[in-house]
Structure 1
Amino acid sequence: MKTIWIILLGLLSYSVVAKPQRLVALSPSSVEMLFVIGAGDGIIGTVAYADYPEVAKQIPRIGRHDFLDFEAMLLLNPDAVVLDSTSVSQLLTNRLQALGFKLIDTRVTELEQIPQRLLQLGSQTGHEEQASRVAREFSQTLAALKRQYQHLAVVDVFLQIWPEPLTTSASSWMNEIIQGCGGNNVFANSVNEYPQVSVEQVLARLPEVIIKPVHGDRSQADTKWQAWPEIPAVANHQIVNIDGDLIYRTGPRVLQGMTQICEIIDAARRQLQHD
């Protein structure tokens, strides 16, 4: 009997040790997910632009989405590498696999997948309780936003990703955010996820609000929309900037960005109804 208990205790000890404690996180969204579930202290290396929360700025940088210092990676010798496979080049991912690193993919394409990834990370890092709480809060907040906004009168939205060349988004992710707020992405049916469009194409769709995500110190210089007052968004002064990180990073903060988009769309909706 004593021998059985020794074996069981040994297995339990192994399972605890087997949880990855030293992590390299190669995507800003992966860093945010790890911190929100309480595993951020285990991150020993990350990439450029992984700047949230504030303490994340102190983590050593070993690359970016298209470059990685593999010598630094080998010296760090992490238990696991956490990444979003949509934001890390396939070449780097293949090299990491070839070198034998354990990879944890936080890729999401739908909002509902975020709590799933949080739960998975919690299980894999030993932070199940906090991950479960955060995942539950995310799901509840998302459901509440959709209940409040998605069945209201539809507002046509143009999302200006970049001014030159003029670029928008037709990704399923962005469409879901806009639709969940009761909006209609006027380029939702584009073949490409990030199509380049012309001012004439925007004119033809007559968006009622123009939303421009801003990226830190990277310019979102104004397209001279005031030259086209026939666009309802221009005529009604419904051209609004938001923090791009809140909607482009597929982590739990995306609901802050979605809340802002819902409020922007609702303001345009109320103005249209008043007019």
Structure 2
Amino acid sequence: MGHNRKTWTVLLGLLAAAALLVSACGDDDDDDGIDAPAPDATGELSSGNEEEPRESATAVGTAAAGDAPDDDGFPLTVERSDGEELVIEEAPQRIVSLDASATEILYAIDAGDQIVAADLYSNFPEEALLKARLDAFAPSPEAILAEEPDLVLIFSNEGDIVSVLDDLGVEVLFLEPPAELDGIMERVELFGEITGHGEEAAAVASDMANRVDSIVEAVSGADEGPRVFHELDNTLFSVGPGSFIGDLYELLGAENVAAAAGQPFPQLTSEAIIAADPEVVILADEAFGETIETVSARPGWAVITAVREGRIHGVDPDIASRPGPRIVEFLELVAAYLYPELFE
């Protein structure tokens, strides 16, 4: 079954709003109505504007700078997602971030002024829109080299770009998105080490952990978690075990109706969702036209408890689908949707 570019970016991502066909997913059907696993996810679905004003290719970031990078702890050896090791000799000063989540993390730890270029979907904070813009899904070695980077951050090896940059002598850190919430906080701390902002990163990760603990404690008294369906797009891709979003629902004690697929980003059938009867539906595709009205109008969905009781909630896909500091905002928001009686 083909799927559009929005679906591709949704799926680690999850997470882009384009209509370009980029791949094909499996078409094997399971007995429970859940299709074969989707392709590798990007964790990024963005409704950001790709045409915002930007800096020139060699401009330095305009975000308020924090303390100067700390050169202690270098050289630093980091294992990439392809198993190769990258040795970073000193804190990079010209980072190309082809990962919107990485961009958000760098700004959160006061390393935004070390970014010289970012991918098309790096739209938070607003200062990121001023950076030179590069396409992470069709990466151009020439465009990357033009930025004279001392480090390139990549979450997906599109077009074997990692090997291409390796051969060109460019330092590239290929890190796939974390599969769980703890991994996101570890990623924050890692980026702190890499950029020389370890103290700032530790503070961000600690704040995230404290907020997570507060939410988990607040919902721990619930007798039973509700059944929930998390919709990535209107072709019914969802989240399951092995995805950081699936991990969030598990932390909240919810019964994820897509968990039975046993895959990070499964595609469900309408029949399977109706049979599972979710009590809450979370729409990560509201920015792309899905609403309580469109969901309620789907054939057969009128019998679903979430539809009958009006418990269909849209969420900002950038917050819901990016493994960065703002994922805690999503956790807090969804906790209130799942357990409204605990957050009145």
Range of TM-score over shorter length: 0.7 to 0.9
For the residues of structure 2 that align with 1:17 and 1:228, how far apart are their CA atoms? Answer: 56
* 1:69 match: 140
SS of alignment partner, residue 239 of structure 2: coil
Query: Offset at 1:174?
Result: 1.9
* 1:273 match: none
1:141-152 alignment, distance < 5 Å: 141-150=211-220, 152=222
Structure 2 CA distance for partners of 1:154 and 1:161, relative to 1, 3 Å: same
For the residues of structure 2 that align with 1:202 and 1:174, how far apart are their CA atoms? Answer: 18
TM-score by length of 1: 0.83
For the residues of structure 2 that align with 1:56 and 1:215, how far apart are their CA atoms? Answer: 24
* 1:232 match: 305
SS of alignment partner, residue 157 of structure 1: strand
* 1:95 match: 164
Answer yes or no: is 1:182 the counterpart of 2:228: no
Answer yes or no: is 1:120 the counterpart of 2:190: yes
Q: Which residue identity is paired with 2:166?
A: Q
* 1:154 match: 225
Query: Offset at 1:140?
Result: 1.3
For the residues of structure 2 that align with 1:100 and 1:55, how far apart are their CA atoms? Answer: 29
SS of alignment partner, residue 332 of structure 2: helix
Measured against aligned partners, the alpha-carbon deviations of 1:153-204 in whole angstroms (never above 9, x if no partner) come to 21000112111x2322224322211122221111112044322222221111
| RMSD of aligned residue pairs (Cα, Å) | 2.4
Structure 2 CA distance for partners of 1:130 and 1:72, relative to 1, 3 Å: same
Structure 2 CA distance for partners of 1:225 and 1:102, relative to 1, 3 Å: same
For the residues of structure 1 that align with 2:300 and 2:272, how far apart are their CA atoms? Answer: 15
* Between structures 1 and 2, the one with greater helix share: 1
Rg larger in structure: 1
Sequence identity of aligned pairs in percent?
Answer: 26
For the residues of structure 1 that align with 2:113 and 2:310, how far apart are their CA atoms? Answer: 45
For the residues of structure 1 that align with 2:300 and 2:138, how far apart are their CA atoms? Answer: 41
Q: Which residue identity is paired with 1:241?
A: G
1:1-275 alignment, distance < 5 Å: 18-64=90-136, 66-84=137-155, 87-89=156-158, 91-106=160-175, 107-150=177-220, 152=222, 153-163=224-234, 165-172=235-242, 173-214=244-285, 216=287, 218-220=288-290, 222-223=294-295, 224-225=297-298, 228-267=301-340
Q: Which residue identity is paired with 1:235?
A: R
4+ long deviations beyond 6 Å: 14-17
Runs of 5+ in structure 1 lacking a partner? 1-10, 271-275
Query: Offset at 1:88?
Result: 4.5
Measured against aligned partners, the alpha-carbon deviations of 1:51-75 in whole angstroms (never above 9, x if no partner) come to 00011011111223x2112112112
Measured against aligned partners, the alpha-carbon deviations of 1:75-118 in whole angstroms (never above 9, x if no partner) come to 2111111232xx45262222222222222345311111222222
Query: Offset at 1:17?
Result: 8.1
Structure 2 CA distance for partners of 1:160 and 1:150, relative to 1, 3 Å: farther
For the residues of structure 2 that align with 1:40 and 1:120, how far apart are their CA atoms? Answer: 15
TM-score by length of 2: 0.68
For the residues of structure 1 that align with 2:315 and 2:332, how far apart are their CA atoms? Answer: 11
Q: Is the 8 A contact 1:150 1:179 kept in 2?
A: no
- Stretch moving more, 205-214 or 192-201: 192-201
Q: Which residue identity is paired with 1:73?
A: I
For the residues of structure 1 that align with 2:89 and 2:253, how far apart are their CA atoms? Answer: 47
Runs of 5+ in structure 2 lacking a partner? 1-70, 76-87
* 2:14 match: none
SS of alignment partner, residue 109 of structure 1: coil
Aligned pairs, how many? 253
For the residues of structure 1 that align with 2:220 and 2:171, how far apart are their CA atoms? Answer: 40
For the residues of structure 2 that align with 1:183 and 1:132, how far apart are their CA atoms? Answer: 29
